[in-house]
Chain A
Amino acid sequence: MRILVCVKRVPAPGARINITADGQAVDTAFLGFTMSPHEECAVEEAVQLVEQHGGEATVLTLGPAEADEQLRYAASLGVAKAVLLPIDGPDWDPQLTAQAIGAAITDIEATDGAFDLILFGNESADSGGFQVGIRVAHALGRPVVNGIKGIDVDGGSLRARREADAGVEVYEVSMPAVLGVKEGINLPRYPTLKGRLASKKVAVAQVVPQGEPGGQRMITLLPAAEQVSATVILGNGPEAAGAVVDMLEEIGVLK
């Protein structure tokens, strides 16, 4: 199987997210970076599918030069090839991002052959546009289902499971196909020392991204309304149990 995983470099926030003075970005002065959680699972899924069915996985990102770090992280887990679509400055809008990724995939496939499966995360952790993977699938004319938490490949098709309010929905899709996966589809592995060393040697191909800006433009980031609550301390240690149960009775939880 030839599998492509598309990821995004995002800040790894801890207890709070601060905005820069100009309101244009998250203040990352004291933050590390990671890939979106759903995408970590997409990478793991690609590596597992290659382990089961043979073939090769490739990772692709559109982002700053520093996104090389996320590509090599994916390589350290077993992804063989990496592609960077470098951009300067602020995030590209979803339409522009999808155009550039779709065009890059078309180029790669023209020389290396088609990908059987292209994986995206269900949505990015930061901007959460819920659309780039679907737009890319439409550009490539391939079937796409989002929210996937289980993939079974059988010959030229796959069964994909997704959780819904009523239970689990199963889709059967012929490849080549595109899927948006969600965290929980697997438990991502940690890189081994051998993997880390190997990832340093992976050649990262660069493709200059191109496209026309879409119709959505960010003006400014705003802090969400802080939930202000003066915390009532019910006590210290096990002696607080009485006060806790009083409170549970008061709010009607204990019947």
Chain B
Amino acid sequence: MILVVVEHDRGTMSPATWEALAAARAVGEVHALTIGEAADGLVDQIGAYGATTVHQVHHDVLTDYGPEAWGEVVAQATRALSPDIVLATGTDRGNEVMAHAAAILDLPMVANVVEFDGENLVRVRWGGSLLERCRLDAPVRLLTVAHHAFAAEEAPVSAHAESLAVDLDPMLARTVVRERVERKAGVTLSTAPVVVSGGRGVGSAEGFAPLLELAAELGGVVGCSRAVTNLGWRNHTDQVGQTGTRIAPDIYIACGISGAIQHWVGAMASKKILAINTDAEANMVTKADYAVIGDLHQVVPAITAEVRRRRSTSSPRT
């Protein structure tokens, strides 16, 4: 049996969990573990992705997310339910919770797998630019699945819920979320349909003005490379890459970005990529779907002007 740890935030399930459930289903019988009362309403949603049993855990220290408390629950559920595999999401929370469980159980844990059916697993390295085939010797396999590696397809079954008793030390509340600052509504770098990004080739912080204009015109946001963040031209929250934000917009417009590995792995999930660069041999250009060879300082304003021109000549929008 494969036990999937359901990632949720106060009852809202993360899309990465759908992928984990779908990945597990391809390998064997799937049970799910939900942590905290807030997740009790997720049974039908979990069944939609093929898990037959949902083990629900309730406790006073589980009213909000806490890495140590969640890790302890996963460890206790692993002991109580004896699964062959415990699978979590390859996200900040999923990797963190599984690492806690692995430390408690003194078992190996393999992060971000893309294949796990059989003795040898394949996992992601360097943020996805390299893979590793590895062997895992353990009585229970603790794994997280790489985000976007498995399709989140539904396969509905009727899931039933069971209560799972745990014994938690109140001390575990020491790392529970104390306070939250909710994000303002609106598009963010990770959800925007269009991202217009600038690299070292933009030349200065002020040089981003035309990129901001084009992004606004297309209903998108501005991103940047790590070089730009390190130069202090843009805030790190705009950084696309392995150590920044991973994006998947409809189109990624990369202006003056050479396309180092660190940047590419954050952008490669984009549906289409347009590179604007003076260097036709730049990595970003050769990997992109479309390219314009030229100076971004001339090309970007020209695109903005052309978008505006077509809008003003087409029939007025309501």
Known A-B contacts A143-B174, A234-B292, A253-B194; A183 and B302 likewise in contact (beta carbons under 8 Å): no
Kindly provide the distance from the CB of A97 to the nearest chain B CB, expressed in whole angstroms: 12
Inter-subunit contact A227/B292 (CB<8 Å): no
Taking A17-B261, A144-B67 as contacts, is the C-beta distance between A253 and B193 under 8 angstroms?
yes
Asked whether B181 lies within 8 Å of A216 as measured between CB atoms, the reply is: no
In contact, B299 and A229 (Cβ under 8 angstroms): no
A217 near B218: Cβ-Cβ < 8 Å: no
- With beta carbons under 8 angstroms apart, the residue of A15, A173, A220 that contacts B261 is A15
Cβ of A192 to closest chain B Cβ, rounded Å: 17
- The listed residue (B106, B122, B134, B294) touching A217 by CB distance below 8 A is B134
Q: State which residues 264-285 of B face A: CB under 8 Å.
A: 268, 271-272, 274-275, 280, 283, 285
User: Which of A167, A174, A218, A254 contacts B132, CB < 8 Å?
Assistant: A218
Main SS of the interface on chain A? mixed
Check A14/B261 contact, CB under 8 A, given A130-B96, A233-B293: yes
> Are A164 and B9 interface neighbours, CB within 8 A?
yes
Q: Would B14 and A165 count as touching, CB distance under 8 A?
A: yes
Which chain A residues in 221-255 approach chain B with CB under 8 Å? Answer: 221-224, 227, 229, 231-245, 247-248, 251-254
**In the assembled complex, how far is the CB of residue B302 from the closest CB belonging to chain A, in whole angstroms?**
4
Q: Nearest residue in B to A252 (C-beta to C-beta)?
A: B250
Main secondary structure on B side of the interface with A? mixed
Given contacts A170-B177, A172-B178, A187-B232, contact A251 B294 (CB under 8 A): no
Give CA–CA (A239, B293) in the complex, Å.
Answer: 10
Chain B 99-136 near chain A by CB (<8 Å), digits 1 or 0: 11011101111111000000010101111111111111
Tell me the smallest distance from the CB of B175 to a CB of chain A, in Å: 5
Residues from chain A with Cβ under 8 Å of B107 in the complex: 215
Q: Mark B62-97, 1 if CB is under 8 A from A, else 0.
A: 000101100000000000000000000000110110
Which of A94, A166, A251 contacts B108 (CB under 8 A)? Answer: A94
Distance in angstroms between the alpha carbons of A216 and B102 in the assembled complex: 12
What band does the interface of chain A fall in when counting residues whose beta carbon is under 8 Å from B?
35 or more
Q: Are A16 and B283 in contact (CB under 8 A)?
A: yes
- CB-based contact A219/B226 at 8 Å: no
CB neighbors of A among B6-62 (8 A): 9, 14
> How far, in angstroms, from A159 to B232 measured CA to CA in the complex?
25
Chain A's closest residue to B101 (CB) is A134
Name which residue of chain A comes closest to B92, CB basis: A147
Q: Are B180 and A170 in contact (CB-based, < 8 A)?
A: yes
Q: How far is the CB of A12 from chain B (nearest CB, A)?
A: 9
Could you tell me the distance between the alpha carbons of A229 and B289 in the complex, rounded to whole angstroms?
A: 6
Partner of B130, one of A17, A184, A240, A254: A17
Q: Are A131 and B306 in contact (CB under 8 A)?
A: no
Q: In residues 299-314 of chain B, which contact A (Cβ within 8 Å)? A: 299, 301-303, 305-307, 310
A38 at the interface (CB under 8 A from B): yes
Q: Could you list some 17 contacts between A and B, CB below 8 A?
A: A15-B258, A15-B260, A37-B226, A95-B106, A128-B112, A130-B95, A131-B111, A134-B100, A145-B67, A219-B133, A221-B131, A224-B128, A232-B290, A232-B291, A233-B293, A234-B274, A236-B294
Going nearest first, the 3 A-B pairs with the smallest beta carbon separation are A184-B236, A238-B302, A215-B108
Binding site for B on A (CB under 8 A): 13-17, 19, 26, 37-38, 93-95, 98, 122-123, 125-131, 134-135, 137-139, 143-147, 159, 162, 164-174, 182-184, 187-188, 214-224, 227, 229, 231-245, 247-248, 251-254
